[in-house]
Structures are given as C-alpha cells and as structure tokens.
Amino acid sequence: MQKKQLSILVLLLIFISTSSFNILPKDVIRNDFKKYYDKLNVQGSFVIYSQNKDAYTYYNKEQTSQAFTPASTFKICNTLISLDSKVINDEQEVIKWDGKERQNPVWNHDTNMRDAFKNSTVWFYQELARRVGEAQMKKLIEKAHYGNCDISGGIDVFWLSGGLRVSPSQQIEFLRKLHGNELPFSKPSMDILKDIMIVDNKSKYVIRAKTGSGQQDGKYIGWYVGYVTTKDDVFYFSNCIQSTERNPNFNNARTEIANIILAEMGILK
C-alpha cells in the first residue's frame, strides 16, 4: 500500500513539474516601448498578436480596449463592402475626379482603388460609400462586427467625423479574420484587399497595412494597423497614437514606432 501511494505521489509531482514548464504567459507587457513614443512626442498603445504562439505583446494594454475613430483604417472594411456590393468591379476600375482641389495633390486626379488605398484618397472612398448607401453599409458593417457598427454622422463621413469607433484590439481581430478568410465577404474581394494592402514585400516577410489619421475629443489620432506574414508565423499589429498638438513627427510616428518595435522583436529581419 505504501509503495502504491509513493508511486502515485511521484507521478503527481512529475505531472505538476512538467505542467509548470508548459504554462507560458499569453500576455507580455513591454513598458519599455514607451521610450519610442516619448522620443516622437506622442502618447499611444501598441499590441501585437503571434498566431502560432497564440500570444499577445502589449504596450499600454489598458488603452488597447479603448475605442477611437478609425479614420482611413476603415478603408480596409470599406474596400470589402464596396467590392461585395458591386458598386465597383475591381481594384483597377477608375473613378473620375470631381475636379475639386484637395489638400493632398496626389488626390487631384482620376484614380482606381489600388492607388486610392495606397494614397489614402478620401474622396474616392467617400464616393464608394455613397454608392453603397446607408442601408447596405449598416447591414454589412454589423455583419462583419466592425467596431461599434455606428454609421451616424453621414454616409460619407461616419468613419472620419461621425460615430464609428474601433479599438486597437478590435482592429487585430478584424485582421485575423481577414487573413483567415473568415470575414462575411467573398474570397475574391478579400484577395483583392490583401493584394492592395501590401506595403513591403521582402524575401523573408510581407507587410500588409494601412495608416489612418483623424481627430477625436480634442486630440489628434493616428493609426498604423496590419499584419506581417513570415515563413513561420503571422503577426498582427496595431499602433494607435494620440497628441494634443499636431507636431511635425505625428504622421511619421505612426509607422516609425511600429517598424522599430517589429524589428526589435525580430519580426522584420
């Protein structure tokens, strides 16, 4: 009887010891990332998710659940809605410029979806939203569970100055579903989006991403969201920055901070 009890005790200790080594933290907090935000005079948060490790790395984790205006990062969702709604045929179809001069000279000409996504051409995606219409837009945003699904404020401005809000964590979840073809849109539409999202195509990795810039509650809001595919993993990231003043570093900070962090983590190498 004593030998049996001893054997059971030994097995139990082995199980506990082995299990303790296999329990790895799912969340890693990197407070040291703050120095990159301080250097560029912005506040913000950063979250990255490793698909293979099923693990998150955070800077300012609390803020990653807060909702902000998506600004031009909504072009990711708007592209899918517009393609699936058949208001535009593909990424090559040209929409004629309305002739109104805008702040960014690259916007002031006829353009297609591929270039409009790359150049973040606001009027192009506003035209697509008007073509989709409020009823269809509301239906598909709710079906896709994008942010708070609030399209109040006008069909062509709800993601800029209207009611639409999305958190950094929600951005990550939407991108995960996009990469896995799990969004409620056709595969051809998702394939087009994935193609026009490519911002860097290297031998060891591919970055698909989108910037965004807007204002909310007296602050400037900047985004850089996307995902990196490597040989061994997929890393989804969201950098959301804020500032009470539009300093010269603001736009560059969106991408610069993210790229520094991704490189430091060994993802871009």
Cβ-contact 108, 102 below 8 angstroms: yes
| 72 flagged as catalytic | yes
**CA 233 to centroid of chain Cα atoms:** 17
**Which one of 45, 72, 167, 243 is the catalytic residue?**
72
**CA 26 to centroid of chain Cα atoms:** 20
55-59 and 27-29: which strand pairing?
A: parallel
What's the Cα-to-Cα distance from 29 to each of 32, 45, 58, 59, rounded to whole Å? 9, 11, 5, 6
Closest residue by Cα to residue 242 from 269, 215, 265: 215
> What is the Cα–Cα distance from 206 to 117, expressed in whole angstroms?
17
Cβ-contact 179, 243 below 8 angstroms: no
DSSP alpha helix (H) spans, the chain: 2-22, 34-39, 75-84, 113-119, 122-132, 134-144, 168-179, 187-196, 250-264
Instruction: Provide the annotated active-site residues.
Output: 72
